[in-house]
Amino acid sequence: MAYRRNPQQARPYGRRRGFNKGTLIIGLIIAGFALFKYCSTSQYNEILGESQNVSLTVDQEIALGLQSTPSMIQQFGGLHPSSEAQKLVKRVGNKLVDNSIARRTNYQYDFHLLADPRTINAFALPGGQVFITEALFSQLKSEDQLAGVLGHEIGHVVARHGAERIAKQELTQGLTGAAVIASGDYGTAQAATMIANLVNMSYGRDQELQSDDLGIRFMMEAGYDPQQMIGVMDILEGAAGPNRQPEFFSTHPNPENRRERIQESIVKWTAELSQ
pLDDT tens figures, 192-239: 454 444 444 444 778 889 999 999 999 999 999 999 999 999 988 887
Q: Is residue 224 part of a domain?
A: yes
134 vs 180: which has the higher pLDDT = 134
Q: How far is CA 196 from each of CA 34, 172, 254, rounded to the nearest angstrom?
A: 13, 6, 22
Residues 116 and 114: their CA atoms lie apart, in Å, by 6
Question: Kind of pairing, strands 50-53 and 42-45?
Answer: antiparallel
Q: Is residue 46 part of a domain?
A: yes
Q: Can you list the positions of beta strands (E) in the chain?
A: 42-45, 50-53, 110-114, 122-124, 129-133
Residues 232 and 197: their CA atoms lie apart, in Å, by 28
Q: How many domains does the chain have?
A: 1
Which domain covers residue 102, as residue numbers?
A: 21-228+249-273
Q: Is residue 9 part of a domain?
A: no
Q: Is residue 55 part of a domain?
A: yes
For the chain, the maximum distance between any two Cα atoms, rounded to a whole number of angstroms, is: 98
Residues 86 and 181: their CA atoms lie apart, in Å, by 51
Q: Is residue 130 part of a domain?
A: yes
Averaged pLDDT, 155-184: 68
Statement: residue 169 has pLDDT above 90: no
Quick one: what percent of the chain has pLDDT higher than 70? Answer: 65
Q: Is residue 233 part of a domain?
A: no
Q: Is residue 11 part of a domain?
A: no
Q: Is residue 10 part of a domain?
A: no
